[in-house]
Amino acid sequence: MKPPGRWDDQRIEIAIGGMLRTGVLSATFVVLIGAIFYLLKYGHAMPHYAIFKGEPADLRDLPGIFAAALNLRGRGIIQLGILMLVATPIARVAFSVIAFALERDYLYVLITLIVLSILAFSLFGGSMPVIR
């Protein structure tokens, strides 16, 4: 019989599955709330499909997204939900590093750290984020 506090493969997989489920469901809930706020304010406006407008500059960085979400702006809340969705698999990889370290499987710790580094590099476009 295994000690109750021991992390084995099955317990780690259950924890990772719960983390992924929670991340996706909470991101979905946040995007839905943002969509409701957005539609309440702009739902009556006619879209102009001939003109493309990207996201405003304040919704392209983390401080702007957090500020917009805290001010209950629909697009900011939606962007926050999308960030949560992107962060979910990254959190899974970070958790895997810890889980492999607890199992003392140092080869997988190294491999997972390399994967986490690649994810971070691709997410930040080869540069570290600027936090104002």
pTM: 0.78
Q: What tens digit of pLDDT does each residue of 24-69 get?
A: 999 999 999 999 999 999 888 887 888 887 778 888 888 889 999 9
User: For the ranges 12-21, 56-65, 66-75, 122-131, which has the lowest average pLDDT?
Assistant: 122-131
Here the contacts of 21-30 (C-beta below 8 Å, separation 24 or greater) are 23/84, 23/85, 23/87, 23/88, 23/91, 23/92, 24/85, 24/88, 26/84, 27/81, 27/82, 27/84, 27/85, 27/88, 28/81, 28/85, 29/81, 30/77, 30/78, 30/80, 30/81, 30/84
